[in-house]
């Protein structure tokens, strides 16, 4: 892309961000929803005028996966109160690990049996879909101002879950994708390849452990290095040091096939431990995260296609219903069993809210764009992911303020 075209693109995106911020309170829709809709309108308008937007799925994936994702994860980890999070850690980890696995399995089962096409949409396709949709996104949650209308401990539980399950979801998706690409587990493979399939499964489990452990090492090193580098320096340097170290830890982890998301998560938690005492730095990271998240939703709106809805609308509806039911079941099951060991029990009404408040965003979009196009079901999975994220943007997000206001009125 020429420099002039790049500058024009940045100017258009900045204008859309401004317009979304101005329109959002006037049309009473959340900013991410308005950003997505404006992105779709502007992109389609440009194409209708005969111009090429320059947006391609691969370019979009690279921008999201290699730039936006580490920034969003680090910012979310930096801003969260680590000391308060420690008190909620058992509930957060239960939802982020066990809850995500349950949601993945139940969503996969629902989508698989409802689509009922074992050849065109096998179990591995359903599991990939489940892993994508089980991942709630910290930027999608924290960017909603209504998240602060709920009880502080509940808001922290939501933010912590959406932050930690990024790591679980990304690694789980990578493992399932490696299984899907294995010749031993292809639809053409027969019983003779059962031993090879077992070997692939064992290798995938080892990969899961290695990615988590490797990412943790890089994250700890980067986090402690960041605390040392900024300990006696000016507060204004913390943003740049954090940005440099988070991106470095992320890409270094990827280079050795470890989890970059885990690295950014731990780096952000360590460097952000004193964020409450540094409101200026926290405000800078909030602005960067909000801007990055806004650009992401604009680009998502610009890359969505009408054919997704004309060809895969039924699969989208099936997935929306499946993931909603699966999340409610997993949230109630995990938090009910965990309540007896917790000092912060979650009521039945609050568990219902958590079940609905799980928003999908950058993680789902970034992961679905990793799917190789030689997988026969890639288009179906991608369409499903876009459809569920769009549902969260135009249905769940606008609905939540009304539900919370009604809940507050009832409590009063």
Closest alpha carbon to 263 in 77, 23, 39:
77
Where would I find the H helices in 181-278? 194-230, 237-255, 260-271
Q: Is 54 left (phi over 0), alpha (psi -120 to 50) or beta?
A: left
For the ranges 49-53, 114-118, 206-210, 291-295, the lowest mean pLDDT is seen at 49-53
Instruction: Give the tens place of pLDDT for each residue, 179-207.
Output: 888 765 555 544 445 555 566 667 767 77
Residue 39 confidence (pLDDT) above 80: yes
User: Which pLDDT value is given to residue 404?
Assistant: 64
Residue 323 confidence (pLDDT) above 90: yes
**d(C-alpha 178, C-alpha 127), whole Å:** 12
Residue 163 near residue 76 (C-beta atoms within 8 A): yes
User: Which pLDDT value is given to residue 191?
Assistant: 44
**d(C-alpha 12, C-alpha 50), whole Å:** 17
**d(C-alpha 277, C-alpha 179), whole Å:** 46
For 302, half-sphere exposure in the C-beta direction (CA atoms, 13 angstrom radius) is 24
User: 193: which DSSP letter?
Assistant: G
Residues of the chain with pLDDT > 90: what percent? 25
For the ranges 74-88, 148-162, 241-255, 397-411, the lowest mean pLDDT is seen at 397-411
User: Which pLDDT value is given to residue 190?
Assistant: 46
User: Which pLDDT value is given to residue 221?
Assistant: 94
User: Which pLDDT value is given to residue 111?
Assistant: 96
152 CB-near residues (< 8 Å, 6+ apart): none
Instruction: Give the tens place of pLDDT for each residue, 324-345.
Output: 999 999 998 888 887 666 666 7
H or E stretch covering 186: none
Residue 78 near residue 268 (C-beta atoms within 8 A): yes
- What the chain holds in terms of domains, given with CATH numbers, is 57-411 (1.20.1530.20)
Phi first, then psi: what are they for 283, rounded to 5°? -65, -40
Where would I find the H helices in 28-94? 31-48, 57-63, 69-79, 82-87, 89-93
């Amino acid at each position: 892309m020429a420099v002039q075209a790049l500058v024009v693109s940045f100017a258009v995106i900045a204008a859309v961000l401004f317009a979304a911020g101005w329109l959002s309170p006037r049309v009473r829709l959340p900013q991410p929803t308005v950003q997505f809709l404006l992105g779709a309108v502007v992109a389609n308008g440009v194409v209708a005028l005969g111009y090429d937007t320059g947006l391609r799925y691969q370019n979009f994936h690279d921008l999201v996966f290699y730039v936006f994702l580490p920034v969003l994860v680090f910012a979310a980890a930096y801003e969260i109160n680590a000391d308060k999070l420690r008190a909620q850690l058992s509930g957060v980890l239960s939802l982020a690990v066990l809850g995500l696995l349950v949601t993945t399995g139940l969503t996969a089962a629902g989508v698989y049996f409802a689509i009922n096409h074992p050849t065109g949409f096998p179990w591995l396709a359903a599991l990939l879909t489940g892993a994508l949709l089980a991942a709630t996104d910290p930027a999608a949650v924290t960017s909603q101002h209504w998240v602060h209308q709920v009880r502080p401990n509940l808001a922290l539980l939501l933010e912590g879950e959406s932050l930690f399950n990024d790591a679980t979801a990304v690694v789980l998706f990578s493992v399932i994708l490696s299984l899907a690409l294995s010749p031993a587990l292809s639809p053409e493979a027969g019983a003779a390849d059962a031993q090879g399939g077992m070997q692939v499964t064992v290798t995938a489990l080892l990969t899961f452990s290695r990615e988590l452990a490797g990412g943790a090492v890089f994250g700890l090193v980067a986090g402690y290095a960041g605390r040392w580098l900024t300990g006696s320096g000016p507060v204004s340097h913390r943003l740049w040091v954090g940005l440099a170290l988070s991106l470095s830890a992320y890409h270094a982890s990827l280079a050795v096939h470890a989890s970059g998301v885990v690295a950014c998560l731990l780096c952000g938690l360590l460097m952000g431990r004193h964020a409450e005492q540094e409101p200026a730095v926290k405000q800078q990271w909030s602005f960067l995260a909000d801007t990055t998240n806004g650009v992401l939703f604009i680009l998502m709106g610009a890359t969505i296609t009408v054919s997704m809805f004309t060809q895969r609308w039924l699969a989208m509806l099936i997935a929306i219903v499946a993931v909603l039911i699966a999340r409610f079941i997993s949230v109630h099951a995990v938090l009910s069993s965990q309540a007896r060991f917790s000092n912060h029990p979650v009521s039945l009404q609050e568990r219902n809210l958590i079940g609905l408040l799980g928003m999908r965003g950058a993680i789902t979009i970034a992961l679905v764009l990793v799917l190789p196009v030689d997988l026969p079901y890639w288009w179906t999975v991608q369409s499903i992911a876009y459809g569920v994220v769009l549902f969260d943007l135009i249905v769940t997000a606008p609905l939540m303020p009304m539900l919370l206001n009604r809940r507050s009125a009832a409590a009063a």
